[in-house]
Structure 1
């Protein structure tokens, strides 16, 4: 009893972090954990939350039962019987089980149809709840995780919950054909519960991606898909969004001529291509003088080139960071058309690519790895084996953070290797940095694989 007040004070100041052992599956230690929470953790009373008031100015909400009603949704779940359930932490005031309130985050009204205290799996109905309580409300139509509920007259939006950034993504596809819609519906329900999950479609690779804070995070989401919604999926590393570019200047000539009786098709254009700095994408320059190509046909040349450059030249990846200069051409008063000049532009592009020495570019990622100091040697060696360039290290007590740049293709399976090296004590974060040229030995493998995949797709 003499120690408890001191522990309580130091825990509230975040100087001491209690560790208790328990097993929920065996029913060991659960009561001790609950007793420790009551005895040692700070009371909600006196807590302060920052937010934004109705007038847009900063506001502070104090945990006080006598203040205006303010609560924040910290979790959302989909129950097969009760539907959507929102879990609220009441920050101030009190809420009635049949009350009408204001979602200040979205500017919409919500009406409660019951309040429930959480006791294990049981939800106990109560007529009202007060500041400091954690309660559940079913079937809120417009409310999501992180939203603030209050009264309309005293609306306040509390600071959003801190959601971990996604650091790893997997391509996801159904085991059974035709289940794409089921996956999408089920995943959107999971994301309502866990906003740190992200589900997107890559327009370039046509893959669906599921991203989370770690490999384990994504695997747990997949297990929930199967258990809760009966949807089985396959996870695999996402395709790397390579790019193509040119490394030298070139000139090319494209002529489209077709005579089939009556009106024919004719268009002739000459272009120059030249490389641009990384990140410049594509530029088209009209350098026609003297009317060798009429003004109304010049956009067709550009369109023809843009359409084919999306398919690349070496391996089917988009061609970027180059300039096209249209400087000469010919036309026919009767046979020339936009379609003919579009086709001529595409022919000129293909000839130019054969001369301009195209190459592959790969995405380079900024990588931050945090792990105990004892694993630094193995981690540095592993990053070097992945063609990584270590840019610095920062010590953090018993941990060290490594900052490096590594090709995305080398990081697709890094999570499992990091767990193996650090015995699960390491973490990492990725974000895109820039594109860089792929070494020639690796380029050949990528090109061969891309052509093989394309052939298999066409055969299928």
Structure 2
């Protein structure tokens, strides 16, 4: 009978969290749906290694997770948590991520900091033999992240647990190479241990068949010639050799070992930690992100060498009431030490575009105290070596910034971030809050690159672009609790435009006499609308000096000033040609300002005669949804006055729907789409052009004048 494995590793306690050898470091991000058991699994692993004295409490009495007020109030994780532990003389940094789509930015940061992923899914997740849409989306993101990944199935003791159904459902997304390494051993209703499917020999024909499939998958995907030769010769391949080649098999992104775990019973924890140590890649085995000089010249990537040039990246930022800003960094090369000169580079705009919301910056400063995150506290660190993850205090860096030595400054290509599509307009509640708001927003955006702050010069609104309602609530809560700024939400103002409905003439007369020099200016203009995007044209057909040459430019300035103010609702006027055809002047009382005023009055009269059309902005929208929801999505876009442009099949059961949609109909679309697609639908948009708004809707728009 094959060897039965249980949680055999003796607790190691909370040892020194520093690591000197990158080969003895493993960085593993935990991803999965909300309620899947990620945080429970982390706490169980800490208990197993002796770092916890009881569930949720480390040995000195502090808590595992230092949750913000928002997280406590909403009973959900909203940020990346780095939890280190030690197993078999190897430091394992577990990066616990939120499961909710609103905090997908934290998941992306976790992928960047990690060298491998654990996709955590509960044993009751396969409803009707398939995963829900949101879980499948998370699984696809895990594949797209291109990090080796394994699967952990939790909650084996749940009443509706069905391990076989979950394995089958996972294979629909991850592929057929989702291979269980163990099979639960039960005594009645209790799960008492795991049967290792890699061990030679089997207790049943089913287990023997599973063993053969597993061995074949590892041998094929690992591309180990010696192992392949022994297997083809019919030799019994040693379990240790197979485990040693798991990381090679995982490296191609096709083979995904699966481990069943029952955290509450302590079953599978030792096996999981053993697999991470023996079968997951060390930092030196993973490719370093593309590196450049601040001037943009590509440079060779550095391996995880503690003696190499310093290259690290800020993967998370927070504010501590006692130590100020705390930057969580992944060190890719070199060794980070306290109180030494550093170069901090942020070049998101160069890579991702100026509209990303983060300006490029380069600063030289000194590193502050170093520490390791552990539960609700920071454990002092003497240094942080290549491959490890730690914290730097009092560093004025943003999430995503590169930290390097001033002698050899580097910039790492930023990781991809989800594009926030939900706008939330805010304003300070009081004058004192207004004074603090700008700095608070700058710090908030520095911490969270998935949040974009827009200060709209046209609408005079401050707009937070977020991923969803919970993301918005978190941002507002942080403004209040971290920075002491109270804000209120306002209706979003969509920037409209005005233009003339047709050609018209206008007469502008500005004559005032009240002693001394008066004001005298008269002008006649012809105004006609230009095609969409035509801009503004000004022409002069005045003859006989009716308007002196020095005042023709004054008329043009007056017309443009009136166009900026609008004539109907107070929105800027666009796409007009204005021709000055006649006028009158006075040798003493005419002036630049008088003719500017007359030019504005002439445009207003022409607008009143021709009628004003309100224009609204349209965006080109690309909506990615499940195939089964294409019809519903198209109907919804049509109901939003959108014009459908077509569809694209993208595979994996999803379709992209393209449409032109008014921006006024997209204000809450991020929320509505998520609800309609059960969290699996996403969309992008870009400005297309302006089009006339239906008159019945324009009549309901509030005037800004």
- TM-score bracket for this pair, using the shorter chain length: 0.7 to 0.9
How many angstroms apart in 2 are the aligned matches of 1:303 and 1:360? Answer: 23
Structure 2 equivalent of residue 63 of structure 1: 303
User: After the TM superposition, which of the residue ranges 236-245 and 256-265 deviates more from structure 2?
Assistant: 256-265
1:416 counterpart SS class: helix
User: After the TM superposition, which of the residue ranges 26-35 and 81-90 deviates more from structure 2?
Assistant: 26-35
Deviation at 1:220, TM superposition (A): 2.2
Alignment of 1:178-327 (within 5 A): 178-327=432-581
How many angstroms apart in 1 are the aligned matches of 2:272 and 2:482? Answer: 29
Cα separation, partners in 2 of 1:399 and 1:56, compared to 1, 3 Å: closer
Structure 1 equivalent of residue 407 of structure 2: 153
For the 8 Å contact 2:341–2:406, the answer to whether it is kept is: no
Deviation at 1:139, TM superposition (A): 1.0
How many pairs are equivalent?
448
How many angstroms apart in 2 are the aligned matches of 1:33 and 1:144? Answer: 38
How many angstroms apart in 1 are the aligned matches of 2:262 and 2:523? Answer: 75
Structure 1 equivalent of residue 670 of structure 2: 415
Cα separation, partners in 2 of 1:185 and 1:149, compared to 1, 3 Å: closer
Unmatched runs of 5 consecutive residues or more in structure 2:
1-195, 199-213, 215-242, 347-360
Structure 1 equivalent of residue 682 of structure 2: 427
Residue 408 of structure 2 corresponds to residue 167 of structure 1: no
Give per-residue Cα distances to partners, 1:156-208, cap 9 Å, x unaligned: 32222333333221111244564223333322221111122122222222211
Structure 2 equivalent of residue 439 of structure 1: 694
User: After the TM superposition, which of the residue ranges 100-109 and 365-374 deviates more from structure 2?
Assistant: 100-109
For the 8 Å contact 1:74–1:161, the answer to whether it is kept is: no
Structure 1 equivalent of residue 286 of structure 2: 47
Deviation at 1:275, TM superposition (A): 1.1
Structure 2 equivalent of residue 398 of structure 1: 653
Cα separation, partners in 2 of 1:67 and 1:219, compared to 1, 3 Å: same
Structure 2 equivalent of residue 92 of structure 1: 333
Cα separation, partners in 2 of 1:138 and 1:178, compared to 1, 3 Å: closer
Give per-residue Cα distances to partners, 1:231-288, cap 9 Å, x unaligned: 4433344111111001322222222222334433221111111111222332222333
Structure 1 equivalent of residue 83 of structure 2: none
1:430 counterpart SS class: strand
1:424 counterpart SS class: coil
How many angstroms apart in 1 are the aligned matches of 2:426 and 2:314? Answer: 29
Give per-residue Cα distances to partners, 1:35-90, cap 9 Å, x unaligned: 36556543211333311247853212232324222212222222111111122111
1:229 counterpart SS class: coil
TM-score by length of 2: 0.59
2:480 counterpart SS class: helix
1:339 counterpart SS class: helix
* Equivalent in 236, 247, 250 of residue 8 of structure 1: 247
1:13 counterpart SS class: coil
How many angstroms apart in 2 are the aligned matches of 1:401 and 1:34? Answer: 38
How many angstroms apart in 1 are the aligned matches of 2:663 and 2:279? Answer: 46
Unmatched runs of 5 consecutive residues or more in structure 1:
455-460
User: After the TM superposition, which of the residue ranges 169-178 and 422-431 deviates more from structure 2?
Assistant: 169-178
For the 8 Å contact 2:424–2:492, the answer to whether it is kept is: yes
User: After the TM superposition, which of the residue ranges 325-334 and 102-111 deviates more from structure 2?
Assistant: 102-111
How many angstroms apart in 1 are the aligned matches of 2:266 and 2:693? Answer: 55
How many angstroms apart in 2 are the aligned matches of 1:307 and 1:272? Answer: 17
RMSD, aligned CA: 3.0
How many angstroms apart in 1 are the aligned matches of 2:623 and 2:495? Answer: 23
For the 8 Å contact 1:72–1:89, the answer to whether it is kept is: yes
Give per-residue Cα distances to partners, 1:100-122, cap 9 Å, x unaligned: 33335555433223221222223
2:679 counterpart SS class: coil
Greater share of strand residues, 1 or 2? Answer: 1
How many angstroms apart in 2 are the aligned matches of 1:385 and 1:32? Answer: 55
- Which one has a bigger Cα radius of gyration? 2
For the 8 Å contact 2:422–2:669, the answer to whether it is kept is: no
For the 8 Å contact 1:169–1:211, the answer to whether it is kept is: yes
Residue 318 of structure 2 corresponds to residue 77 of structure 1: yes
